[in-house]
Chain A
Amino acid sequence: MARVIRQRPMNWVERLYIFEAIRGLWTTLKHAARGLFRYEELPTISYPEGQPEVRRTYRAKHRLMLRADGTPRCVACGMCAAACPAHCIYIEATASDDPRIEKKVKRFDIDHLTCVFCGLCVEACPVDALRMDTKEIIFEHRTRDEFVANLQTLTSWNPKDYPDDAQSQVAPGGTKNAEARKVWGMEVKN
């Protein structure tokens, strides 16, 4: 539906321009004075040295969640690849060693040059294996191939970086790892 925005006609003070110009000058003066006298309050971040604060909910670089034994939680169903509008996910499945699980991933590639960071893959995942909460927003590499994140890079995250997330603590090295192994039915080593 088209919406008509009626503009208020300018009154004679505004049409004189000079007073409105002075009002504009006052605005810029305030900003300039803040920059000069309160330099630390500028909203600008001096970028490579100072990093912006990124929220967990920000759709950053992907990661694959891990089971208690350290294998990726991914069951290679291909839902994420199907949901991806940019066709940047490539999955190869293979038979799982665990009799309770049918398939596991042999290859899981996400091409970050093609990825549009829409987050549909995360929504599509039936086992909550794929997440985009790494807060990593810098993608800089020398070659095009390095922009493709493989299984190794996607699973190499540290549970200590996600202290509030119980699911991440299940992974090896996490606080809930031992408990999860017991539930999963595995011998707890050491």
Chain B
Amino acid sequence: MDIIESKTWVEWVITIAKFGFCFVPVLYILLLIPMERRGAGFMQDRQGPNRSYIKVPFFGKVRLFGYVQNMCDGTKLFFKEMFAPKGSKKFLYYVAPAIPFAIVFLSPCVIPWFGPMVFEWGDKVVRIAGPILDSEVGILLLFGFSSLSAYGAVLAGLSSRSKYSYLGSLRTTAMTISYEVCQGLSMMGLLVLAGSFSLTDIVSWQEHHVWGIVAQPVAFFCFLIATIAETGRAPFDVAEGEPELVAGYHTEYGAMQFGLFYMGEYSHICISSLLVATLFLGGYSVPFVTTETIQTHMGGSLAILCWVLAFFALAFLHMIYRYSRKLRASAQANKMEILQEYKLYKGVAWIATLVLIGAGVASWLYYNPEYSMVNGVVVNSLGAALGTALIHLLVLLVKSVFFCWVWIWVRWTLPRFRYDHIMHLGWKIILNIAILNLVVTAVVAKLMGGN
């Protein structure tokens, strides 16, 4: 009872609502799969998957820019038969794909999604931390979770009784372990500067000094490469190298078991990109603007946010109109169908534009909540605190989506490294650079009189 009464009900509601952030990686999967497939298409001058459609009464065949194709593929995976090869260890075989996917729900708990919410409730000042679990050792916890996902690959390889899977899982293990060392060491320089293992502290340090990418550019590159290697994607995807290992550790898996591995890989990308954004790109902090400025000019900040979104909607409309014009002039047989479909997108985008501009103007003119300063921290109403949290969350998502794009971009550009090259790069190059960077950072930090 004491625990319940120690917080007001609003605090409890928000604290519980924060658990919703556990599902962010799942949403990212929904975003990343089309992004990867169409992005790969565009890089190779293809159009990417865009044929499947849903029939909608007035608009005809609505394809949602190829998104329907992914829904179809997911449905197919769901309804395929699950089977285990003869002689496989059934329990481990079925548990293995669930491990990387289950980690997904644990990992987001330490990432600060927004700056600490401070607001007045009744006569109390309520403070709510950004992450679900505001741990002192947040980043270590995150590394622990992300290492656990290697168990999925290991168990899959061991239990499926296939030489390809076995070799694939051996490679995964070796690579994950060696690159985790690089990852941890390259990040240490930043921890020395921030003086804390807590991700919230690291972000607030970046907010008040400089972004990690400016303070530690070398560490940023080492960390990025090590993280890409740890997710096991190209150019580091020797673990599932098609030319020699069929599909690596998930050779024997089909249906949704394969789907879980697939989604586990994407959610690993999501967590890694969130981590990179948090550590090196200032996390939730808005560039060039402090949180205090946002909170003291809440209406204006929300207005700018709305207008930026309206600008994107207008740019989208511009592209749609230009493409429709070109299509109408072409001899394509189904152009009237496509133009009918585009009416839907045009309508939605126009409505979004008008609503966003209107909302921007309204918040600019009429939304100026009162605030007070307590110990240098802005304290205002619940609404303004939620608005700040929303802006922070969007900024963090934009940054991490950019890094997700980097993952896809690198995958479709660089050829696969040979296995010994990967080990050479990890142990002899990145590790040494990371150690050197750590030493230099520590010495400079000491001389400059930091912590």
Q: Does B7 interact with chain A (Cβ within 8 Å)? A: no
Flag if B413 contacts A39 (CB, 8 Å). Answer: no
Tell me the bound Cα distance from A43 to B45 in angstroms: 7
How many Å lie between the Cα of A27 and that of B42 in the bound state?
A: 12
A25 near B409 (CB under 8 angstroms)? yes
B409 in contact with A35 (CB, 8 Å): no
Residues of B within 8 A of A51 (CB): 331
Within the complex, the shortest CB–CB distance from A33 to chain B, in Å, comes to 8
On whether A37 and B319 interact (CB within 8 A), knowing A25-B413, A32-B409, A49-B332, the answer reads yes
- Verify B47–A31 contact, CB threshold 8 A: no
Residues on the A chain within 8 Å of B322, using CB: 40
Instruction: Tell me whether A190 is interfacial, beta carbon within 8 Å.
Output: no
Which residues of A sit under 8 angstroms from B373, Cβ to Cβ?
none
Q: A21-B414, A31-B45 are in contact. Are A49 and B334 (CB under 8 A)?
A: yes
Interface residues of A in 53-80 (CB under 8 A from B): none
Convert A1-25 into 0s and 1s, putting 1 for each residue whose CB lies closer than 8 angstroms to a CB of B. Answer: 0000000000000000010010011
* Residue from B43, B47, B319, B334 in contact with A32 in the complex, judged by beta carbons closer than 8 Å: B43
Q: Is A28 an interface residue (CB 8 A)?
A: yes
- Report the Cα distance A37→B315, complex, angstroms: 9
Q: Are B332 and A42 in contact (CB under 8 A)?
A: no
B74 interface residue (CB < 8 Å to A): no
Chain B interface residues toward A at CB < 8 A: 38-39, 41-48, 50, 221, 319, 322-323, 326-327, 330-335, 409-410, 412-414
Query: Sorted from nearest, which 4 A-B pairs have the closest CB atoms?
Result: A35-B42, A49-B333, A40-B326, A49-B334
A28 CA to B48 CA, complexed, in Å: 15
Interface size class of A (residues with CB under 8 A): 20 to 34
| B-contacting residues, A155-174, CB 8 Å | none
Given A21-B414, A50-B332, verify A44-B46 contact (CB < 8 Å).
Answer: yes
Q: Would you call A50 and B331 a contact (CB within 8 A)?
A: yes
**CB-defined A-B contacts under 8 Å, sample of 28:** A18-B221, A21-B413, A24-B413, A24-B414, A25-B409, A25-B410, A25-B413, A25-B414, A28-B412, A29-B409, A32-B39, A32-B43, A32-B409, A35-B38, A35-B41, A35-B45, A35-B47, A35-B48, A39-B319, A40-B323, A42-B45, A42-B47, A44-B47, A46-B47, A46-B50, A49-B332, A49-B334, A50-B332
Selected from B331, B335, B413, the residue in CB contact (under 8 A) with A28 is B413
From A28, A34, A42, A50, contact of B409 by CB (8 A) = A28
Check A36 for interface membership: any CB of B closer than 8 A: yes
| Whole-angstrom CA separation of A51 from B330 in the bound complex | 11
Residues in B neighbouring A39, C-beta threshold 8 A:
47, 319, 323
B43 touches A28 (CB 8 A): yes
CB distance from A25 to the nearest CB of B (A): 5
Q: Which residue of A lies closest to B315 (CB)?
A: A37
Q: Does B45 contact A46, Cβ atoms closer than 8 Å?
A: no
Alpha-carbon distance A40/B38, docked complex (angstroms) = 15
Whole-angstrom distance between the alpha carbons of A49 and B323 in the complex?
16
Residues of B within 8 A of A35 (CB): 38, 41-43, 45, 47-48
- Bound Cα distance A32, B331 (Å): 25
A26 CB to nearest chain B CB (Å): 9
B191 nearest CB across to chain A (Å): 25
Q: Is the CB of B42 within 8 A of A32?
A: yes
Bound complex: CA A48 to CA B410 (Å): 33
B48 neighbours in A (Cβ, 8 Å): 35
Q: Point out the residues of chain B lying under 8 angstroms from A29, CB to CB.
A: 409
CB-CB < 8 A to B331: which residues of A? Answer: 50-51
Nearest-Cβ distance from residue A24 to partner chain B, whole angstroms: 5
Tell which of B45, B335, B413 touches A44, judged by Cβ atoms closer than 8 Å. Answer: B45
A49 to B333, CA, bound (A): 5
State A11–B44 Cα separation when bound (angstroms): 28
> CB-CB < 8 A to B334: which residues of A?
49
CA distance A32 to B45 in the complex (A): 8
Within the complex, the shortest CB–CB distance from B228 to chain A, in Å, comes to: 12
CB distance from B66 to the nearest CB of A (A): 11
- Tell me the complex Cα distance, A25–B405, Å: 12
A48 nearest CB neighbor, chain B only: B333
A78 to chain B, nearest CB (A): 41
Report if A31-B332 is in contact (Cβ < 8 Å); known contacts: A40-B322, A40-B323, A42-B47: no
Taken together as a complex, chains A and B put the C-alpha atoms of A37 and B316 apart, in Å, by 9
Least Cβ–Cβ distance between B315 and chain A, in angstroms: 9
A46–B49 CA distance with the chains assembled, in angstroms: 11
Contact present for A50 and B45 (CB under 8 Å): no
B414, A50: Cβ atoms closer than 8 Å:
no
Q: A24-B414, A43-B45, A44-B45 are in contact. List 11 more A-B contacts (CB 8 A).
A: A18-B221, A27-B413, A28-B43, A28-B412, A29-B409, A31-B42, A31-B44, A42-B45, A42-B46, A49-B334, A50-B332
Which residues from A are CB-within-8-Å of B335? 49
Separation of A69 and B326 alpha carbons in the complex (Å): 45
A124, B444: Cα distance in complex, Å:
85
Please name all residues of chain B whose beta carbon is closer than 8 Å to the beta carbon of A50 when the two chains form the complex: 330-333
Cα(A37)–Cα(B410), bound, Å: 20
Chain A neighbourhood of B413, CB < 8 A: 21, 24-25, 27-28
CA A51 – CA B335 in complex, angstroms?
Answer: 13
Q: Are A31 and B319 in contact (CB under 8 A)?
A: no
The distance in angstroms between the C-alpha atoms of A71 and B323, with both chains bound, is 48
- Complex: how many Å from CA A40 to CA B221? 35
Most chain A CB within a 10 A radius of its CB, from B38, B47, B409, B413: B413
| Least Cβ–Cβ distance between A140 and chain B, in angstroms | 16
